[in-house]
Amino acid sequence: MQFYSTNNPELKADLPEAIFRGLPADNGLFMPERLEPLPAAFFKELPYMSFAEIGFQVSRHLLQDDVPDEELKALVYDAINFPAPVVKLDDKRYVLELFHGPSLAFKDFGARFMSRLMGHFNKGNDKELVILVATSGDTGGAVAAGFYKTPGIQVVILYPKGKVSLLQEKQLTTLGHNIHALEVDGTFDDCQAIVKQAFLDEQLRSEIRLSSANSINISRLIPQSFYYFEAYKQLGAAGDPVAFCIPSGNFGNLTAGLLAQRMGLPVSHFIAATNRNDVVPEFLSSGVYSPRPSVATLSNAMDVGAPSNFARMLNLYGHVNGKDASSPATHAAMLELISGYAYDDASTEQAVREVEERFGYVIDPHGAVGYLALNEWQKENPNTRGVILETAHPSKFKPDVERILGHPIEVPTRLKELEHKQKVAKQMSTAYEPVKDWLRKTFG
């Protein structure tokens, strides 16, 4: 399979180059050259497949012969070794729990698949690979867990100071070994800008083998499509049309759903649920895309003011970034399949309380935003089954959730053990050069 740049369809790379380079040289994003529907036999067998088998079949369909079947199956089965259960709230609303992996967040799917795929292609390479990743919350912990002690790979995680929860921070600052944390005195967008600048710095790349583990990396995005098929399998094909409601920040999760839909999954609609960082809902409403600095909210993993994967979303509807402005036709086509809603922290807190009171279910602030958006969308579309992606375990936001609910919540043992571990992080400003100097000194 070849992968092309969203900025230039003529600029192409094979799978190893796409995953190790992270970004094309023109600052676009890699996309698969072909997105064809899975064969009818796949959907016929879907109700009887395990989650890991679904992942293998979908990745084989996308990657074709880039990885031998036996090796691809082994790495997918090793990566996807935990469930993604669908929990019923009522006949119209369901929650897809994506927090049963090592870091208790949906990013585990992408990070574990990516680490194993990179390990496959990195065999025999004497030069160490440095994974550079920005996080607004959950990516860092998942990448840290997924790549921990992976031979030949070092991981550098940039996170915004004071803008991730305590337990999220502990997940990425306490492992040590090959995991390094840089605490940036800024926002997630500042962290992401540093990462992008590093990838476009040819001098740095000539000295250090760099790759990314953000959803800007196509190998992070592919496995996120797996759980859309898994959720549809659990719901069953018979019944109302199925809509997925996605709490959204960098929009990798929603883009993965669009990939699944292009591969034939019969999704009737996608709902983009955001907090006050509402540039995509604003675009869907007005047709004008206006990225801006992110603002801090209760649902911190969604605090993204310039979502990278929006370029991929536009590209799926025929838009070539940098070539011209987004056309009315692109906007109209997106509106047919995607709706966007945004909510403030007060509404989010009320939703957390309402979900527990009505359904006896403890939902995290990100899932609560999804609950609000699904409710609003279903007012106009009542004859549907809606699935909210619950992207992280509520205990990762323990102080806020307990304050909102007024009682203690359960904290899984593997998270509770982190509370008293010593944080180790290098302090950084939002400037690129100090980060570059640190990378050269540490890995050059």
* Average of per-residue pLDDT values in the chain: 92
Q: What's the pLDDT at 142?
A: 86
Contacts of 381 (CB under 8 A, 6+ apart): 243, 269
Supply the pTM of this predicted model. Answer: 0.88
CATH 3.40.50.1100 fits 84-103+221-405, yes or no: yes
Contacts of 239 (CB under 8 A, 6+ apart): 385
φ, ψ for residue 426 (rounded to 5)?
Answer: -90, 125
Distance CA 421, CA 176 (A): 11
In the chain, domain spans: 84-103+221-405
Using one digit for the tens of pLDDT, what is the confidence trace for 285-313? 998 899 998 898 999 889 999 898 999 99
Q: What's the pLDDT at 61?
A: 96
353: buried, middle or exposed (CB in 10 Å: 19+, 13-18, 0-12)? Answer: middle
Stretches where the chain sits below pLDDT 50 are none
Q: What's the pLDDT at 344?
A: 97
Q: What's the pLDDT at 324?
A: 57
Helices (H), 279-409: 279-286, 310-316, 328-337, 345-359, 365-380, 398-405
